């Protein structure tokens, strides 16, 4: 169940950065390094570097939440104990490899860390990183910025180290051919299915059997726990409009922000490109200088571009590149173009990775402030959005304060804030409705504050401008279902099991008769079984159960029949007559390259895992004895 370090590197690292939202203090307060924000009693150490109790318990809690979300139920007590050991072992490996990476010169700079964080969509406001969004989301999950910087920097550094080892892995052509021959292998197979349906009528089930089954499996017959919730939601996209924006409001805002309405500087240009040549740069430069001389002699730029330019996209247009602003062309080209000041002026040959360019300036525009009349609609939209956002945060602050202070439910708060009081029923530990699978809402609803103490939740931010407060209106605990309520279900289970047993017994008889020489199609016809004639099967053949395909590809080729009971209750009898190795040459090259890259990734993971194991063998690890007990 628990993912080990290979999955952490490819999944957990990305999850910390883009899911849990690891945030760096360098964005607001400069650099902080070291193990910050998590000092506490040590539960373990590796080569003298401690792992604090707070850090361990937080990581354990995150893993328990992830597993509950994955499996949709409480974890078994015995696994809870095992999970503590697995999580701590994983943390030791992570801390060990982070230190190992730093010792070997791998680092993550402040600039790189900030760049990654500033690109997280959840923190972008109109395309720009927002400190307000960053702070509110971080406060909402109760995390320390310094701790996340430390954690994220370590993970990013370790990821660099992982790539340094994993990307050195390779797969030889011989290995690749063997892999394709095995994975793409097909087999000639025929056989039959014995269905349990024919045996259901003879499967008599007594009341005593039903009662006995219930007694042995009573733990499997419980109702699902659920809640009826009340909640207040504020969503900036659907909030009632604030006061109307007047023309004077818009004009004043425009005057205060005129620099936002400056049109970008643009250049219209043409060029003649002489592509890089194997004969060397000097030969290309000589030809470019000759063209410059012809331009200086008065020849037409467009005509020369049409005849000599080696840019197929613009040569037929006389070299025309249209209107462009900075950031479109490669730096050398851009600097030369924007260095021209007069229309009609052209450059000396300019070298880029594409060859030599002669660039002419054909037009200038931009740099002007758009008049209010032209910018009016943008001003109104921007001002409305800003007011809506301010309204949202003001309302969110009031909702948070009122919910925290109130012992009288949410109805009066909804009335006071003029917001609807919403409800959602049958809310299980997997959620329901629009909150299905939403761990933040589920954990709040089933947490101590809301469920056990009957209080309002704290405000839960579900997006940059969406938040809710919730309360439990009714709790229906899980209850044991009485025998009379589940008797029919149990009877169906017992009939199905008995029919499957009978089908398996009949299938085993047919298998012995086939091995004794009876004709397979004749056996199928005699028993009313479903026969399938010889066909070529692959490991992923559609229409056949995976357990049957696994058995087919594990069987020795030849005419000896094999049989097995399938998960759906049928019995399958089959025989493999021939084997056909996969042929790499039949796979398109792009698919072969993709498969080969995937194999090298797997090989890299295994090499890193082996490297990690060797480092662990040499490491000095101490674990506090009480750490792995049920209650720390």
Topology of the domain covering 185-218+483-580: Chitinase A; domain 3 (3.10.50)
Over range 17-34, report the average pLDDT: 33
Q: Do domains 185-218+483-580 and 263-365 have the same CATH topology?
A: yes
The rounded percent of the chain whose pLDDT value lies above 90 is 40
Over range 590-610, report the average pLDDT: 84
CA–CA separation, 488 vs 210, rounded Å? 9
Question: For the segment 152-185, what is each residue's pLDDT rounded down to a tens digit?
Answer: 788 888 888 888 887 777 777 888 888 888 888 9
Question: For the segment 341-358, what is each residue's pLDDT rounded down to a tens digit?
Answer: 999 999 999 998 888 999
Please say if the pLDDT value at position 33 is more than 70. Answer: no
Question: Which band of pLDDT confidence, cut at 50, 70 and 90, is reported for residue 629?
Answer: low
Over range 223-245, report the average pLDDT: 83
Residue spans per domain, the chain: 5-168+613-628, 185-218+483-580, 226-245+381-476, 263-365
CA–CA separation, 88 vs 622, rounded Å? 11
Topology of the domain covering 5-168+613-628: Triger factor/SurA peptide-binding fold (1.10.4030)
Please say if the pLDDT value at position 37 is more than 50. Answer: no
Question: For the segment 374-419, what is each residue's pLDDT rounded down to a tens digit?
Answer: 778 877 877 877 777 888 888 889 999 999 888 888 999 999 998 9
151 CB contacts (<8 Å, ≥6 apart)?
Answer: 16, 22
Residue position matching structure tokens 């099967």: 537
Q: What are the angstrom distances between the C-alpha of 531 and each of 191, 536, 565?
A: 6, 15, 16
CB distance 368 to 349 below 8 Å:
no
Residue position matching structure tokens 């089954």: 213
CA–CA separation, 437 vs 65, rounded Å? 11
For residues 125, 127, 128, 130, the Cα torsion angle rounded to the nearest 10 degrees is 20
367 CB contacts (<8 Å, ≥6 apart)?
Answer: 262, 263, 264, 265
Over range 52-73, report the average pLDDT: 75
Topology of the domain covering 263-365: Chitinase A; domain 3 (3.10.50)
Of 554, 245, 510, 268, nearest in space to 380 by CA = 245
Say what the pLDDT of residue 527 is.
Answer: 81
Secondary-structure percent of the chain, ordered helix, strand, coil, rounded to 5? 50, 20, 30
Give, rounded to a whole angstrom, the gap between the first and last alpha carbons of the chain: 22
Say what the pLDDT of residue 627 is.
Answer: 75
Say what the pLDDT of residue 632 is.
Answer: 41
Over range 520-526, report the average pLDDT: 91
């Amino acid at each position: 169940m628990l993912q080990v370090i290979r999955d952490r590197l490819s999944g957990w690292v990305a999850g910390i950065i883009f899911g849990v939202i690891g945030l760096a203090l360098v964005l607001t307060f400069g650099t902080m390094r070291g193990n910050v924000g998590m000092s506490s009693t040590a539960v373990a150490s590796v080569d003298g570097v401690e792992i604090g109790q707070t850090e361990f318990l937080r990581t354990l809690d995150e893993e328990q939440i992830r597993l509950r979300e994955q499996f949709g139920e409480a974890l078994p007590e015995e696994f809870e104990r095992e999970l503590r050991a697995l999580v701590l072992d994983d943390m030791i490996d992570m801390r060990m490899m982070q230190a190992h990476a730093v010792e070997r010169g791998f680092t993550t700079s402040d600039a790189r860390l900030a760049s990654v964080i500033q690109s997280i969509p959840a923190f972008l406001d109109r395309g720009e990183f927002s400190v307000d969004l960053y702070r509110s989301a971080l406060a909402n999950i109760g995390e320390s910025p310094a701790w996340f910087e430390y954690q994220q920097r370590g993970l990013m550094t370790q990821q660099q180290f992982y790539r340094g080892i994993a990307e050195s892995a390779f797969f030889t052509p011989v290995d690749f051919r063997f892999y394709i021959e095995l994975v793409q292998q097909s087999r000639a197979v025929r056989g039959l299915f014995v269905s349990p349906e024919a045996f259901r009528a003879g499967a008599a089930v007594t009341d005593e059997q039903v009662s006995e089954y219930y007694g042995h499996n009573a733990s499997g017959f419980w109702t699902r726990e659920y809640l009826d919730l009340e909640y207040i939601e504020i969503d900036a996209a659907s909030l009632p409009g604030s006061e109307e924006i007047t023309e004077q409001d818009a004009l004043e805002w425009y005057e205060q922000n005129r620099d936002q309405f400056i049109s970008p500087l643009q250049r219209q240009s043409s060029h003649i490109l002489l592509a890089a040549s194997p004969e060397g740069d000097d030969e290309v430069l000589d030809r470019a200088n000759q063209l410059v001389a012809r331009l200086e002699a008065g020849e037409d730029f467009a005509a020369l571009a049409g005849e000599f330019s080696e840019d197929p996209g613009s040569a037929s247009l006389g070299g025309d590149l249209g209107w462009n602003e900075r950031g479109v062309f490669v730096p050398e080209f851009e600097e030369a173009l924007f260095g021209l000041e007069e229309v009609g002026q052209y450059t000396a040959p300019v070298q880029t990775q594409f060859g030599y360019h002669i660039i002419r300036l054909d037009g200038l525009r931009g740099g002007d402030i758009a008049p209010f009349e032209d910018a009016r609609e943008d001003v109104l939209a921007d001002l409305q959005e800003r007011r809506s956002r301010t309204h949202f945060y003001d309302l969110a602050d009031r909702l948070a304060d009122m919910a925290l202070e109130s012992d009288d439910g949410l109805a009066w708060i909804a009335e006071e804030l003029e917001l609807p009081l919403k409800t959602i029923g049958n809310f299980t530990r997997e959620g329901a409705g629009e909150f299905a699978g939403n761990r933040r809402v589920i954990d709040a609803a089933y947490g101590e504050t809301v469920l056990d103490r009957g209080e309002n939740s704290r405000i839960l931010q579900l997006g940059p401008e969406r938040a809710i407060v919730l309360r439990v209106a009714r709790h229906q605990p899980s209850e044991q279902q009485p025998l009379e309520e589940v008797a029919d279900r149990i009877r169906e289970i017992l009939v199905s099991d008995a029919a499957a047993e009978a089908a398996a017994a009949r299938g085993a008889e047919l298998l012995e008769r086939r091995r004794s020489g009876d004709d397979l199609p004749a056996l199928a016809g005699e028993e009313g079984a479903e026969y399938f004639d010889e066909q070529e099967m692959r490991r992923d053949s559609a229409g056949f159960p995976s357990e049957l395909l696994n058995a087919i590809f594990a069987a020795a080729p030849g005419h000896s029949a094999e049989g097995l009971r399938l998960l759906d209750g049928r019995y399958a009898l089959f025989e493999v007559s021939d084997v056909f190795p996969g042929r790499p040459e039949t796979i398109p090259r792009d698919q072969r390259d993709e498969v080969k890259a995937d194999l090298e990734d797997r090989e890299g993971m295994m090499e890193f895992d082996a490297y990690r194991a060797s480092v662990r063998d040499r490491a000095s690890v101490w674990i506090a004895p009480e750490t792995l007990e049920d209650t720390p």
